[in-house]
Homo-oligomer: A and B are copies of this chain.
């Protein structure tokens, strides 16, 4: 059973594609996780904003504030 702590689980996703659900207007993002800190602030690249499951806009490099992240989900490659 994979029972890594939440922060270790996220660190294991660095360099990989992740799916992020957030609070606020721009609520779903997909991109490559570059780094994460203790507050779960995320540095991502090649980020796309999604709407209704469709790519809506390329944001490129993005920093996401950890407290506004609802969930992080690794993407299949």
Contact = CB atoms under 8 A, between A and B. Distances in A.
Contact of A43 (B6, B35, B36, B61): B6
Nearest to A25: B27
Interface of A: 1-7, 9-10, 14-15, 21-29, 34-37, 40-43, 45, 59-74
Given A6-B37, A43-B9, A63-B71, A24 B26 contact: no
A47 to B, nearest CB: 8
Contact of A70 (B25, B37, B60): B25
Given A5-B35, A9-B61, A62-B71, 18 more contacts: A1-B34, A2-B61, A3-B34, A4-B34, A5-B37, A6-B37, A9-B35, A9-B63, A21-B26, A22-B24, A22-B71, A59-B71, A59-B73, A60-B74, A62-B72, A63-B73, A65-B67, A68-B70
